[in-house]
Amino acid sequence: MDPQFYREYYTLERSHWWFTARLEILEGVLKKWILNAKPKTLNILNVGVATGATSEMLSKYGNVVSVEYDEECCKFLKEKTGIEAINASLTELPFETDTFDLVCAFDVIEHIEDDKLAISEVNRVLRKDGHYYITVPAFQFLWSNHDVVNHHYRRYTKRNLNSLFSSFKITYSSYFNFWLFFPIAMVRFVLNLLPKSKNKQSSGSDNEVLSSSGLLNSIVKFIFKSERHFLRQGIRFPVGVSIMSIGTKK
């Protein structure tokens, strides 16, 4: 993550419609698909915590260990939130085998060149019958400067993501951000046609273009977060900007 971007990200995670709606969706799905099958207090590993909003949410349900690959982001996180993240990679986790009840990686494995090695590490540190809970960006044709700024290696389809987790028992997987899929796809297409900004005060993330405030922010957030009701019911959307996958260690 570019240094300018994680400074933007701290504000975005706590105010932008996409991040705040996504967090509500993640929490709703967590309650439905994982907490019903687990004890009340979990040992949770949250990898790729960025500026901490997901760790703050997860801490309501167990003891959370936060991991972040970017050392400067770890320092930033400590200063802004008090969360002491461990500076480490998902491909080489500094934990014993069979340690955690739940491993989360929200929009993380697309940053890792060897995603198969990352998933093997998830499998290693999970206890028997422990859950993984991950999200990734969907569809390579949605690739844009936003992916470049975020140092992504790829975007996924549900089929190749499920294949990646074939050593697990997959409980639930679905595309999400379905209602806004076509508008966002159109915005990405237009952005790819425009010349890239040379403004060094900006990260170049398309969050800047997709940002909104006031009434519009509330409307778009309501549209996006309404999907949590369908996801909690087990409905699987046919397309979406993102994919979620939940499963257990065999």
CA–CA separation, 85 and 69 (whole Å): 9
For the residues 56-78, what does the mean pLDDT come to?
95
Q: What was the pLDDT predicted at 26?
A: 98
DSSP labels for 28-91?
HHHHHHTGGGS-SSEEEEEES-TTSHHHHHHTTSEEEEEEES-HHHHHHHHHHH----EE-BTT
Residue with tokens 């709606």: 21
Pick the CATH number of 3-249 from 3.20.20.210, 3.50.50.60, 3.40.190.10, 3.40.50.150: 3.40.50.150
User: Residue 121: CB partners within 8 Å, gap ≥ 6?
Assistant: 90, 91, 92, 93
HEC sequence for 212-234:
CCHHHHHHHHHHHHCHHHHHHCC
Written as six digits, the tokens of 203 are: 């990260």
Q: What was the pLDDT predicted at 208?
A: 55
Q: What was the pLDDT predicted at 216?
A: 83
For the residues 222-227, what does the mean pLDDT come to?
96
Number of H helices, E strands in the chain: 11, 7
pLDDT tens digits for range 159-196: 999 999 999 999 999 999 999 999 989 988 887 777 76
- Is the pLDDT reported for residue 204 higher than 60? no
**The model's pTM:** 0.91
Lowest mean pLDDT among 82-86, 205-209, 218-222, 241-245: 205-209
